[in-house]
């Protein structure tokens, strides 16, 4: 039986409609699944911890593991002297301390500069001022351009200081050290009055060598003032 051409066209249209329907259903199902996935409640990833009322105390080893790393600085105090140690990544530890207190506690007046017996006791207000170093002083015994850094060489260094509460007849001494070793000094009975400015000078025969020079001034066996200067750099001559 002969069929009309419209029959075949309608058949093709039905097949296309069927294909489109299946495709639409598939997309709709995918959309529903995606919507369900998107709208599901968020998952709580917070770790749950149970509080145990009868738990044993944490051991020191476990507590140490739980603590964050401390800073790279640790202070170590000693009972005899106050010393602080800085722990660094270097293999050589650095030590911080009150250097003046430590040295003063260890220093004693050398016997060769302790030859005079005091005729007068120290007063309650006996005091020596801070020492200033310079290569020149004025008529009032004041340092000109004081400094603690000098060049090695042959010249004179003046050490000026003030004094109060002194009395004639006290025994006083001055001691110069180079890198801790005594190199010069003197000792006599005081004969310069109660107060005023004064100075001590040093001009080594072989010149100043590189290193640290320290001046101590003692009165009646007690060190009342102390200061240091450092020699470094190029040499200076006495004419400079």
pLDDT digits (tens, 9 = 90+) for 75-123: 222 323 322 222 223 333 333 345 555 455 578 999 999 999 999 999 9
The answer to whether the beta carbons of residues 135 and 158 sit under 8 Å apart is yes
- Tell me what pLDDT residue 15 has: 66
| First-to-final CA distance of the chain | 137
69: which 2 tokens? 């790393």
Identify the residue whose tokens are 């050490």.
Answer: 159
Nearest to 225 by CA among 234, 215, 233, 213: 215
The Cα–Cα gap between 174 and 184 comes to 8
Q: Is residue 1 scored above 70 in pLDDT?
A: no
Query: Widest CA span of the chain, in angstroms?
Result: 157
Alpha helices in 53-116 (DSSP H): 60-66, 99-106
Alpha helices in the chain (DSSP H): 5-38, 60-66, 99-106
- The domain spans of the chain are 99-231
Fold for 99-231, please state it. Immunoglobulin-like (2.60.40)
Look at 145 and 33; give whichever has higher pLDDT: 145
- Alpha carbons within 13 angstroms on the beta-carbon side of residue 92 total 0
- Tell me what pLDDT residue 237 has: 47
Nearest to 197 by CA among 151, 235, 239, 158: 158
- Tell me what pLDDT residue 231 has: 96
Q: pLDDT class for 26, splitting at 50, 70, 90?
A: confident
The answer to whether the beta carbons of residues 147 and 133 sit under 8 Å apart is yes
């Amino acid at each position: 039986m002969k069929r009309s051409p419209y029959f075949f066209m309608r058949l093709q249209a039905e097949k296309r409609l069927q294909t489109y329907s299946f495709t639409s259903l598939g997309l709709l199902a995918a959309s529903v699944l995606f919507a369900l996935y998107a709208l599901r409640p968020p998952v709580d990833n917070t770790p749950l911890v149970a509080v145990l009322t009868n738990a044993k105390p944490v051991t020191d080893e476990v507590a140490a593991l739980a603590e964050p790393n401390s800073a790279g600085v640790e202070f170590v105090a000693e009972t005899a002297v106050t010393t602080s140690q800085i722990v660094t990544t270097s293999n050589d530890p650095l030590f911080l301390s009150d250097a003046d207190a430590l040295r003063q506690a260890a220093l004693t007046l050398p016997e060769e500069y302790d030859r005079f017996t005091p005729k007068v006791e120290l007063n309650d207000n006996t005091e020596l001022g801070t020492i200033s170093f310079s290569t020149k002083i004025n008529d009032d015994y004041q340092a000109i351009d004081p400094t603690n850094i000098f060049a090695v060489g042959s010249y004179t260094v003046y050490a000026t200081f003030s004094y109060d509460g002194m009395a004639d007849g006290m025994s006083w001494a001055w001691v110069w050290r180079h890198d801790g070793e005594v190199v010069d000094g003197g000792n006599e009975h005081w004969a310069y009055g109660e107060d005023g400015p004064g100075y001590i000078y040093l001009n080594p025969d072989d010149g100043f060598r590189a290193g640290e020079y320290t001046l101590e001034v003692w009165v009646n066996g007690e060190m009342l003032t102390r200061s240091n200067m450092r020699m470094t750099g190029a040499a200076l001559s006495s004419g400079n």
